[in-house]
Amino acid sequence: MATITIVGLGYVGLPLACLCAEKGFKVYGFDIDKNKVDLINKSQSPIDDEYIINKLKNSKIKIHATINPSECIPVSDIVIVCVPTPADKSNSPDLTAIMESTSTISKFIKQNTLLIIESTIYPGTIEEIIVPILKKQRFDAYKNDIFVAHCPERIDPGNKKWTIENLPRVVGGITKESSKKAAEFYRSIIDADVIELSSIKAAEATKIMENTFRDVNIAFVNEMAKSFDKAGIDIIEVIKGASTKPFAFMPHYPGAGVGGHCFDKNEWIFVKYEDSVYPMKIGELYELLKYYNEAEIGETRLVNAGNLEVLSFDLDNKKSCYKPLKLLSKRPYQNMLRINAVGNYSLKLTDKHPVVVFNNGLKIKPADKLGRNDRLVVSLELPEIEKEIKIDIIENINEEL
C-alpha cells in the first residue's frame, strides 16, 4: 500500500486521514499546530466531531502526526493538501496557507508523487500559483515530474447520512495521467462515484458553483421568509409544499445566514460606531481594541468595547437592531467538550469556558472541571414576574484561581 501525507489536520484533513488509515494506507499527518499533533498521536480528537472521535478510538487506525515535514513528505507516494483558504480584509481569497504549504512540500517531495489539492480555491489557482512554486524546485507538473490534481473537498460535519465515505467526488488534473491517478486513489477509499473532469480549472470551478448556489439560495429563502411572515404564511409549510415537485426545486430553509464550516473561523459582524457601519471579523475587532484597554483575569483576556454597537436580534420585538457591545473576551483552549445534561440539554464548550453552577449558591467552574452532580444554570424563557439574581463574577473567578 502507498504512504500518504495529509497536510492540514482540520475538519477536512483529519477525517480524510482516518479514512485512508482505515483502508490500509500508511498515513502521516502534517500540521503546524503542536497541540493538535500531540492529541492525535494520543488517539484524541482536537475537533468535536463524533465521526473523528470514534475513528481515532479504533486501535486499527494509526495516524502518525508530526510538525516536521522532513519526517513525512519525502517518504510519501501521495500528498494531499487540506489547509484553510479564508477571505482577507478586502474579501479576496487569502491563499497564504496554501502557498506556504506548497512551498514547504516542494522542498521535500520526491519525483512521481501524486499531489492533490483539496482546499477550496478559485479557477486558475493551481496553474497560476501552485505549479510555479513547484517549478522553482525544478518539478514540472506538465511533464509529470509530479502528478498534480485537484479534488475539491466535500464534507458536512455531523451529517451521518452523507459522510466522507459515501459522498461522490470530482477530480481534475494538470495532465490526463494526473487526473487518472487521483481518480484511482479516491475510488480506492470511497464507496461512491468519482468523476474525472476535463481540466483542473473545471474541478476548481465546481466548488465555486456549489458554494455560490448554496449562498444565493439561503439568502433567497431568508428574504421569502420575511415576506411570508408579514403575510401570515408559514414558510416551512410552503417549502414542504414546493418540495413535492419532483424536478426544478431543491429545498433550502431560513436561518441566521449562510453559516457552515467554511465561514466559522473568521465570522463577520456589522459594527456601528457613531453614524457609520463597518463590516469586520470578530477577531479583527478584538485585535483593534486590545491596544487600548486589554485586561487579564486568569487566562481570559478582556477588552472594553466602548461606544460600539453590533447588529443583533431583538427577541422581544422580533426584529434586527443594533445593540451596545460591552466586552469582548478571548481565552486559549485545547479541546472542545460536549456536555449532556438532564432535560435534553446539550452544550458544546471550550475546555476552559466558565460555566455557572448552583451548589449551595452560584459559582463559576471551568467546563473541564464539571462533575456529574453539578447543577448547571441554563437559559429559559422566563415568566413575566422575574426574580433578580446577582452573580459576583469576579469573586467567583478569584475563588477558582
Identified catalytic residue from 18, 72, 262, 321: 262
The structure's pTM equals 0.70
Instruction: Look over the chain and give the mean of its residue pLDDT values, rounded to a whole number.
Output: 86
**Amino acid 19: pLDDT:** 97
Q: Of the given ranges (93-107, 174-188, 366-380), which has the lowest mean pLDDT?
A: 366-380
Q: Among 44-53, 174-183, 194-203, whose mean pLDDT is lowest?
A: 44-53
Whether 184 and 197 have beta carbons less than 8 Å apart is answered as no
Average pLDDT on 301-305 reads: 75
Query: Which amino acid, residue 340?
Result: N
* Mean pLDDT confidence for 187-194: 97
pLDDT digits (tens, 9 = 90+) for 349-372: 777 777 888 877 778 888 888 888
CB-based contact 201:174 (threshold 8 Å): no
CA 147, CA 172: separation in Å to the nearest integer?
A: 11
Average pLDDT of the segment spanning 93-97: 91
The verdict on whether 151 is a catalytic residue reads no
pLDDT score at 90: 76
Return d(Cα 68, Cα 338) in angstroms, integer. Answer: 31
Query: Do the strands 354-358 and 345-350 form a parallel or antiparallel pair, or are they unpaired?
Result: unpaired
Band of residue 396 on the pLDDT scale cut at 50, 70, 90 = very low
175-181: average pLDDT: 98
pLDDT tens by residue, 219-274: 899 889 889 988 999 988 999 999 999 999 999 987 656 655 443 446 777 888 88
Residue pLDDT, tens place only, 101-134? 999 999 999 999 999 999 999 999 999 999 999 9
Q: State residue 401's pLDDT score.
A: 44
Question: Which of the two residues, 211 and 66, has the higher pLDDT score?
Answer: 66
pLDDT per residue as tens digits for the range 317-357: 767 788 888 777 777 667 777 788 776 677 777 777 778 88
267 φ/ψ angles, rounded to the nearest 5 degrees? -65, 135
pLDDT value for 261 = 44
Domain with CATH 3.40.50.720 in the chain: 3-209
Q: Which residues pair with 273 in a beta bridge?
A: 276
For 3-209, CATH gives 3.40.50.720
| Grid cell 512551498 in the structure block, residue | 103
Amino acid at 161: K
